Amino acid sequence: MSPQVFLITAISSLAANKLRDALTVLGIVIGVAAVISLLSIGRGAQDAVTERIQSLGTNLLFVRPGGTSQGGVFGGQGSASTLTLEDAYALQDQVLAPSVLLVAPELGTSGQVVAGRENTFTQIAGVTPEYLIVREFTMASGQFITQAHVDRSSQVAVLGSSVAETLFGFRDPVGQPVRINGRQFMVVGVLESKGGGFFGSFDDQVVVPITTVYNRLSATRTAEGGVSVQTINVQVVDVDSMEQAVNEVGTVLRFRHRIAGEDDFTVSSQQDTIETLEDTTDTFIVFLGAIAGISLLVGGIGIMDIMLVSVTERTREIGIRKAMGAKRRDIMLQFLAEASLLSLGGGGLGLGLGALLSWVLDDRTLGGQSFQTSFSGDFAVMALVVGAGIGLFFGIYPATRAAKLHPIDALRYE
C-alpha cells in the first residue's frame, strides 16, 4: 500500500475511538510539555548566570595566591600569602605586560558595620581606584575611592546597595559616619546594585582603600615582608589578547618571585568561570530533562497498552486483510502508523503547551523565586523526534504481534 493509504487508514481507525485515543495522547502531551518547560527553566537559569558573570567583564584575569602545604596537608588554592601589592604595581608596567590595560588588587576581610542603631556583618573589600572600572561598577551617589585615599590610608567607605539600605533605609548615606570593627569611617559613596556573582553578592559589601584594610583592619604580610593581597584583577586590552596576557602575567610574577619550578600563584579568566558553571548547569539541565522524561516513558507505555487492545479488538479485521492478500509488512506498517500518529500528535500538542508554559513562567516570581526561561528551536526538534521515537519504539511490539497472526486463527477469533 502507498503511504497515503496507510495514513488515511490510520486516521479512520483512530477516529473510531476518539476518547480513548485522546486520553492516550494526553500522556504524551504532559510528558513533552514537562520536558520542554523544565529544559527551558534550566537553560534560562544557565543564561542568567552566564549573563551576570559576563556583566562583570569578559576580558578579565584573576591572579590568586597558590596553596599552602604543611605536614602533607594541602590548604587549597588561595591559602598562601604569595601575592603582594608590589606585584600588582609591577603588572601595570606596559613594557613588561603590554596586553594588560588595568590592574586592581584586592585585600578582603569581614567586619561588623554599625550606623546608629542599625548594624550588619558583611565583607570588607580593600581596593584601589581602578577597581571601579575593572569590575564595571557604577556609582549610585557620591564618589569612589581615590588615589589620595589609598596614599593616606583614609578611613572612608563606599557602601554596596544592600548594605546602604540595611543601615540607612531610604536616606542618602553619603557624608554619614559608620563604624567598621570599632573604627569610624566616613561614607563617601554608594554603588549601584549589581546582584549576585559566583563568589556571592556584590551588593553586600563595603569598599575601602586597600591600604586602610592593611593598616587599620587586617594587616597581612608575606614571608618577605610585602603587603599581601588576596586577588589581583587584571583587565586585558581585548578578548583576543587573553592568552598573551596570561603568559605576560606569569612571566612577570615568576621573575619577581624567583620561581624556577612550580608556580606559587594561579591565573584564571572570566571565561574559565563561565565554562565551569556551564558544565555544572548542563548536568543540572540533563537531570531535569531525565526527571521529566519519566512521564514520557509512562505515556509510551500507555500507547503500547492501547495498541495491544486495538490488536485484540481488530483480530478479525487483520484476518480478513491477510485473506485478501495483505502481507505481514502491510499489517505491521499499519499499526506503526497509528502509534506514530498518536505520539506525533501528542508531541506537537506538548510542544505548544511547553512553549506556552515557558512564556508564562518567564520573569515570573513564584514562592519568592524568580524564573527566567529560554526556549529555543532545538527543543521543538527534540519534541517531535522524541514523539516519533516513542511511537515507533512502543508500537513495534503490538505491530509485530498483529503481523504474526495466522489468517485462519484470526478469522475464527470472536
The secondary structure of 39-104 as a DSSP string is: HHHHHHHHHHHHHHHHTT-SSEEEEEE---EETTEE--TT-S---BHHHHHHHT-TTT-TTEEEEE
For 365, half-sphere exposure in the C-beta direction (CA atoms, 13 angstrom radius) is 1
> Cα(317)–Cα(387) distance, rounded to whole angstroms?
28
Cα–Cα distance, 328 to 322 (Å, whole number): 8
Query: Is residue 249 within 8 Å of residue 231, measured between CB atoms?
Result: no
Mean pLDDT within 364-393:
72
Report the pLDDT averaged over residues 309-327. Answer: 69
What's the confidence (pLDDT) of residue 72?
A: 42
Nearest to 296 by CA among 40, 38, 20, 27: 27
Sequence-distant (6+) residues with CB within 8 A of 18 are none
Q: Is the pLDDT of residue 414 over 60?
A: no
Residue 36: predicted pLDDT: 82
What single DSSP character describes residue 192? P
198 band by pLDDT with thresholds 50, 70 and 90 = very low
CA distance 390 to 294: 12
Q: How far apart are the C-alpha atoms of 256 and 63, rounded to whole Å?
A: 14
Q: Cell numbers at residue 81, please?
A: 600569602
Taking alpha carbons only, the member of 351, 376, 313, 381 closest to residue 25 is 351
Instruction: Please give the pLDDT value at position 15.
Output: 66
Distance between CA atoms of 163 and 165, rounded to whole angstroms?
5
Task: Report helix, strand and coil shares of the chain as percent, to nearest 5.
Answer: 55, 20, 25
Contact between 139 and 172 under an 8 Å Cβ cutoff? The reply is no
Mean pLDDT of 351-365: 81
Amino acid 35: pLDDT: 81
Q: Do 209 and 127 contact (CB within 8 A), yes or no?
A: yes
354 close to 33: Cβ distance less than 8 angstroms: yes
Size of the chain, expressed as the number of residues it contains? 414
Q: Is the pLDDT of residue 222 over 60?
A: no
| Most confident segment among 115-124, 318-327, 335-344, 346-355 | 115-124
pLDDT of 201 = 73
Distance between terminal CA atoms of the chain? 27
How large is the angle between the packed helices 328-361 and 3-15, nearest 10 degrees?
Answer: 70
pTM more than 0.75 = no
Between the CA of residue 223 and those of 64, 66, 217, 325, what are the distances in Å? 16, 14, 20, 94
Residue 139 has a pLDDT of 94
Q: Which amino acid is at 65?
A: P
The per-residue pLDDT for 339 is 77
* Local confidence band at 196 (pLDDT 50, 70, 90 cut-offs): low
